[in-house]
Amino acid sequence: MGGERYLERYLGQSGVIEWDRSSFGPVEADPAAVRAAWLLACIEADSTSQAAKVERAGFARATDVGTFLPQWYEEEQEHGRVLFAVAAAGGIEPPSSARLSSGADQRGQPPGWVGALLGRVPGAAAAYLATAAAAEYVARCMYSWLAEAYAGSPVVSRLLRDLAAQEARHLGFYRAAAEARLVRSAPARQLAPSLFTRFWRPVGVDTLGWSIWFDAFGGLITDPVLQRRFLGMDRMVAALPGFEQVAPLRSFLGAHGIAVAA
pLDDT in tens, 168-214: 999 999 999 999 999 999 999 999 999 999 999 999 998 999 999 99
The pLDDT score that the predictor gives to residue 75 is 96
User: What was the pLDDT predicted at 3?
Assistant: 46
Whether residue 240 has pLDDT greater than 50: yes
Mean pLDDT (the chain, rounded): 89
Residue 39 falls within a domain, yes or no?
A: yes
Residue 169 lies in a domain: yes
Q: Residue type at 58?
A: G
Q: Residue 228: inside a domain, yes or no? A: yes
pLDDT at res. 101: 45
- With a CB cutoff of 8 Å and minimum separation 6, the contacts of 260 are 227, 231, 250, 253, 254
> b or e along 113-122 (b: 16 or more beta carbons within 10 Å of the residue's beta carbon)?
eebeebbeeb
The pLDDT, as a whole number, for residue 110 is 53
Residue 220 resides in a domain? yes
Predicted confidence (pLDDT) per residue in 127-182, tens digit: 999 999 999 999 999 999 999 999 999 999 999 999 999 999 999 999 999 999 99
251/189 Cα distance (integer angstroms) = 20
Quote the Cα angle for 16-21-24, to 5°: 125
Query: Residue 261 falls within a domain, yes or no?
Result: no
**Is residue 170, in this structure, part of any structural domain at all?**
yes
Domain that residue 161 falls in: 5-11+26-255
Residue 96 has pLDDT above 80, yes or no: no
258 secondary structure, DSSP code = P
Per-residue pLDDT tens for 8-27? 989 888 899 999 989 888 99
Question: How many domains are there within the chain?
Answer: 1
In a domain, 157, yes or no: yes
Say if 219 falls within a structural domain.
yes
Asked if residue 262 has pLDDT above 90, the reply is no
